[in-house]
Amino acid sequence: MASQSGFIKSDKVNWLPCYLFNDVWRSAIGHDVKHDFWPIVEIEKIRQNGSMKTFIQQFNVVRLIGLTTIFTVAMVAIFLALDGAHPDYGQVSVLVWLFASFLGLELVTTGEQPVSRKHLMAAVIAQLLVLYALFFTASYNFVAILLGIWCGNLLHFMSLGRALATTPVLMFFYYAIFTWYWGFDYMLFSTPLYWMLCLFTVSTVNSWIQETLAKEASEELNRELIAAQSLLKEATRQSERTRIARDIHDLLGHHLTALTINLQVAMHKTDGEAKQQVEKSYAIAKLLLSDVREAVTEIREKSALQLKDALQALVSAVPRLTVSLNLEEDLDIQNVELADAILRCVQESLTNTLKHSHGDRFMISLRREASELKLAMSDNGKAALNFKVGNGLSGMKERILALGGSIRFEPSEGGFHTFICFREA
């Protein structure tokens, strides 16, 4: 019999599941939300794209509630284990160790530091084994609240449908342990309650995933729209300035040229005081023509695109990334296609850093050397040395080559580096 095994067993806690269920439900559910923010499938997008200030604040509260829930369940179980005439301190020590292990593993799986898939899976499996060890150590079936918390881990490794389909298997082992090992008779009533808790946990976590993904996508599109709007504004300004310069040159310039020619002819056909006046008019006309040419040249020079505002709009408020933008002073670009290509390359590199490198810093450098425009981008994340060029990097390479430029990717242990060179005409 299980009661002869020396493990803790008490019939005084049969009322606890119903009592704790309402109080702990939301805490257990809320705590699992963080489980979605790790680099697996869609969870990858949230952990790396998402982590906005408001989200971090929300997560810190949710994580605290979850850890408090685990601590509360542990304290209640330990108190009941000690509540007796002759408590078994050896078994109580085992119980304390198991709860401490579960709590420690929870700190690992919900920490903000990046964890590889391999290590995360090991921690999650170890946490489940500790939880079932708790089921065998003490007969307090309200410990299944922790199973509801743990179910959020399922979305690390599988889709919503598979996660929901896995919960009955987890609950079967819970039912079997307390029915056949501990000999409880009312498990047909309590098991569905905790199963609903697990289903609600997984569903709530998935809803938060989708909501956060949508918000992240919306903010990314907003940044891209602002950058594109800034570039369009600069392109419109460039076009208008070029048109004004062309009109001044074609209309006023040509008329002034014709005027100077006529005045020069008149100089040869007049003499005396009239000739002096013509020579004076001729000198003024030449001076005016020179001023017009200088003005046209200045307008054309100032019609170059200023990329600074567009780049700042693109990299501002990027979640979980500190972006350093180093632009050469008074850097201007004449070609709109070149300016657009630079924006697209920066955008793609930012996306790749958020998705793959797990870094927290991103550096951008744009400068002109002789007739070359050099763009360098790098992060401080973990780059795979044997990486494969995906669709994003392939599209970036095609865009650069179409403009006569060159591109080079250099992964290293210190991050991923991209070097682009454009040859200006």
pLDDT of residue 302: 60
Structural tokens at position 284: 């003024």
Q: pTM of the entire structure? A: 0.57
Structural tokens at position 327: 């632009």
| Cα angle value 160/162/165 (rounded, 5°) | 110
Residues of the chain with CATH 3.30.565.10: 304-425
Structural tokens at position 1: 């019999």
CATH ID of 304-425, from 3.40.50.150, 3.30.565.10, 3.40.50.300, 3.40.50.200: 3.30.565.10
pLDDT tens figures, 349-377: 888 887 777 778 889 999 888 778 899 99
Identify the bridge partners of residue 305 per DSSP, sorted by sequence position: 333
For the chain, residues with pLDDT lower than 70 are 1-60, 112-116, 223-232, 234-236, 238-239, 241, 245, 247, 249, 296, 298-306, 425
pLDDT of residue 16: 34
Antiparallel, parallel or unpaired: β 372-379 and 415-423: antiparallel
- DSSP state letter for 271: -
